[in-house]
Chains A and B, each alone.
Chain A
């Protein structure tokens, strides 16, 4: 019985807390896909930074099994009961998680959709980056460096994942713009470093001249570089995500460039919009960040620990709006 009273008391306490949610101290639940991909870590740090600046609290929900659909669904069921003030939400799957978004809608908790655009449900806003133009711009950067010609290979991400499909489409279009560029092979590395290394080792067996490698994420790009190094061969390599590892590799001249998916900014903006909507301040309903290609000439601002980066002011953020 004592336990039941305790639970009741806790329940009353949380309801009374959420009743004056318009002041500081809102709790924002942040949903990300996994604990293993450094990208989602940047989103979490970004959202924490924005929340801290606006004096709100964050609560992170991450599936223990990476990208698990059932686990994220059950986490939504939990969160609907706990009733945070708002939710910043990255669906593990943009289609499969629609019922989850609808559940949050039914519970009348405002939700800001980040990174992967949910195929349904009602969201206050969407903040993301465009994988296609990210692939296209990073690919163009590589082709410009190589004078628009040469032999190229693409290392794809997880087959069927939206990010990989769009990035690879961007890569292919960048290659098509240059008649002198020849695509030798487009093979899957599943976003895994080891697999990308092996794919690169194998492709070097059948192709004596490879000038450029387009990898759909940084881990695979670095894996390909290790394979090239191991065989004493040289090629210009690009990746996507702008991870710390990629910045270090750009600095040391091993990696040519990385398309910045801007997780930190996405985390900042998602959190800022969530809190502003709770405080009845104007928000932007759609922000699709323009692709930035990080190369030798502009890596410095990225070469700082994640924790010491700062979110933009709302005025700066407002300029990024696309709707």
Chain B
């Protein structure tokens, strides 16, 4: 297991600490994998591992943008509703123009625009992020419900659907996207000045402002990125499910927040990593995959999910304390 995170030398203290945390977080994921390998004979196969990664990708896209928001000490509750509206508008554009490229740009654009509005509410209007994005959630629901009028939009070009269901060199396309955005997110947060400023804002907003960080502009960026990632997720959703409806986002918001928190990012800001969020998304996906493979009775599934999530975090905190 040690091959996961070679400690990077020459980094700041914060950096190596966080890598150690992520390592312990991974332990829980590995334990779940080990248990499932013993309990079922279908878990440990290339097919199923790719299957789990593909399923985790959608959750990761939504949760990775959210991670940046949570790092600043904020929250974005509108992500699920943002996925729904972005998917419905991007779907319309593809239907009207027949152009997948235009559809992809629309989805990410709408998502980003919604995120930017959130950012404006948080910075210029100084509305607490919880309230601003909660309000945005209802505004987006309202518009999407009205726009779709209880209908479902379905049937997209085969080329477009490759984004969600296609393969390249044996790997599903969403898995490539997952790896790309995992790398971009990690490098951005850990290795760029802007990324470090985001940590600084979350750790102590007053000190950040006094030390000359343009707090408002960074916050605006963070909310816009969160929205744009929801927009990207909406494209993956459209391409995988070949349809859009008004209520697709509702069941995505809480798992995304859970993935961020299970991944070790602090709700108070300043602590956490994008890679941790990936592990969080992986754990949540593994639990569902495992329950399906084991045919756990439907009545017990919510309970099992809850217990495993709590155990995973507890195990992580315990081992970390002992190591410290």
- List residues of chain A with CB under 8 Å of any chain B CB: 34-38, 40-41, 44, 64, 66, 156, 159, 184-188, 190, 192-195, 197-199, 201-203, 205-206, 219, 222-223, 226, 229-230, 243-245, 248
Q: Is the interface of A mostly helix, strand, loop or mixed?
A: helix
Q: For A205, give its contact among B154, B237, B245, B293 (CB under 8 Å).
A: B293
- State A198–B42 Cα separation when bound (angstroms): 16
B145 near A41 with CB under 8 A, answer: no
Q: How far is the CB of A84 from chain B (nearest CB, A)?
A: 22
Q: Which residues from chain B contact A38 at a C-beta distance below 8 Å?
A: 150-152, 245
Taken together as a complex, chains A and B put the C-alpha atoms of A166 and B42 apart, in Å, by 31
Contact yes or no, A194 B237, CB < 8 A: yes
**Chain A contacts of B247 at CB under 8 A?**
34, 36-37, 66
- Is B97 part of the contact surface with A, judged by Cβ < 8 Å? no
Contact B241 A223 (CB under 8 A): yes
Q: Is the interface of B mostly helix, strand, loop or mixed?
A: helix
Across the interface, do B245 and A159 meet the contact criterion of CB distance under 8 Å?
A: no
B7 at the A interface (CB under 8 A): no
30 residue pairs bridging A and B, Cβ less than 8 Å apart: A35-B246, A37-B247, A38-B150, A40-B150, A41-B150, A41-B151, A159-B299, A159-B301, A159-B302, A184-B295, A185-B292, A186-B298, A187-B298, A188-B298, A192-B248, A192-B251, A194-B252, A198-B292, A201-B51, A202-B51, A202-B288, A202-B289, A203-B292, A205-B42, A206-B40, A206-B292, A222-B154, A222-B243, A229-B165, A230-B165
B55 within 8 A of A: yes
Is B45 part of the binding interface, using a Cβ–Cβ cutoff of 8 Å?
Answer: yes
Query: Known contacts being A194-B237, A206-B42, is A187 close to B292, with CB within 8 Å?
Result: yes
Q: B165 to chain A: which residues have CB within 8 Å? A: 226, 229-230
A197 and B288: CB pair below 8 A? no
- A159 and B248 in contact (CB under 8 A), knowing A64-B138, A193-B241, A202-B292? no
Q: Judge whether B118 is part of the interface by a CB distance below 8 angstroms.
A: no
CA distance A205 to B252 in the complex (A): 24
Q: B45–A205 contact, CB under 8 A?
A: yes
State the CA gap A197–B242 with chains docked (Å): 11
Given B141, B240, B246, B302, which contacts A197 in the complex, CB threshold below 8 Å? Answer: B240
Q: Are A202 and B245 interface neighbours, CB within 8 A?
A: no
A194 and B293 form a contact (CB under 8 A): no
Q: Which residues does chain B contribute within 8 Å of A202, judged by CB atoms?
A: 48, 51, 288-289, 292-293
Interface centre among B246, B247, B252, B289 (most CB of A within 10 A): B247
Interface centre among A34, A38, A203, A244 (most CB of B within 10 A): A38
- As a 0/1 sequence over residues 265 to 299 of chain B, the CB contacts with chain A under 8 angstroms (1 = contact) are 00000000000000000000000110111010011
Q: State how many angstroms separate the Cβ of B290 from the closest Cβ of chain A.
A: 9
**Nearest chain B CB to A196's CB is how many angstroms away?**
9
The answer to the question of B157 belonging to the interface, with a C-beta cut-off of 8 Å to chain A, is no
When distances are taken between beta carbons in the complex, the residues of chain B under 8 Å from A192 are 248, 251
Report the separation of the CA atoms of residues A195 and B241 in the bound assembly, to the nearest whole angstrom.
Answer: 10
Residues of B within 8 A of A41 (CB): 149-151
With A201-B51, A205-B293 known as contacts, the answer to whether A194 contacts B248 (CB < 8 A) is yes
Q: How far is the CA of A198 from the CA of B285 in the complex (A)?
A: 9
- Shortest CB-to-CB span from B74 to chain A, Å, is 23
* B142 at the binding interface (Cβ < 8 Å): yes
Tell me, yes or no, whether B214 is within 8 Å of chain A by CB: no
B293 in complex: contacting residue of A36, A64, A159, A206, CB < 8 Å: A206
B292 to chain A, nearest CB (A): 4
> Nearest-CB distance from B79 to chain A (Å)?
15
**Contact assessment for A248 and B51 in the assembled complex, using a CB-CB cutoff below 8 Å:** no
Contacts of A193 in B (CB 8 A): 241, 243, 245, 248
Report the bound CA distance from A226 to B291 in whole Å. Answer: 21
Q: Judge whether B159 is part of the interface by a CB distance below 8 angstroms.
A: no
Do B142 and A64 touch across chains, with their CB atoms under 8 A apart?
A: yes
Interface set, chain B 119-148, CB cutoff 8 A to A: 138, 141-142, 145, 148
CB distance from B37 to the nearest CB of A (A): 13
Interface residues of B in 144-183 (CB under 8 A from A): 145, 148-152, 154-155, 165
Q: Which residues of A contact B298 (CB under 8 A)?
A: 156, 159, 186-188
On whether the beta carbons of B152 and A243 are closer than 8 Å, the reply is: yes
Bound CA span A159–B40, Å:
25
A185 to B298 CA separation, bound complex (whole angstroms):
10
Q: Report if B47 contacts A (CB, 8 A).
A: yes
Given the interface pairs A194-B251, A203-B292, the reply to whether A35 lies near B150 with Cβ below 8 Å is yes
A66 CA to B54 CA, complexed, in Å = 29
B214 to chain A, nearest CB (A): 38
Task: Tell me which residues from 239 to 266 in chain B have a Cβ below 8 Å from any Cβ of chain A.
Answer: 240-243, 245-248, 250-252
Q: How far is the CB of A263 from chain B (nearest CB, A)?
A: 10
The distance in angstroms between the C-alpha atoms of A223 and B240, with both chains bound, is: 9
Question: What 14 new A-B contacts, CB under 8 Å, besides A36-B145, A187-B295?
Answer: A35-B150, A41-B150, A64-B142, A185-B295, A186-B298, A193-B248, A201-B55, A202-B292, A205-B47, A205-B51, A206-B293, A230-B240, A248-B154, A248-B155
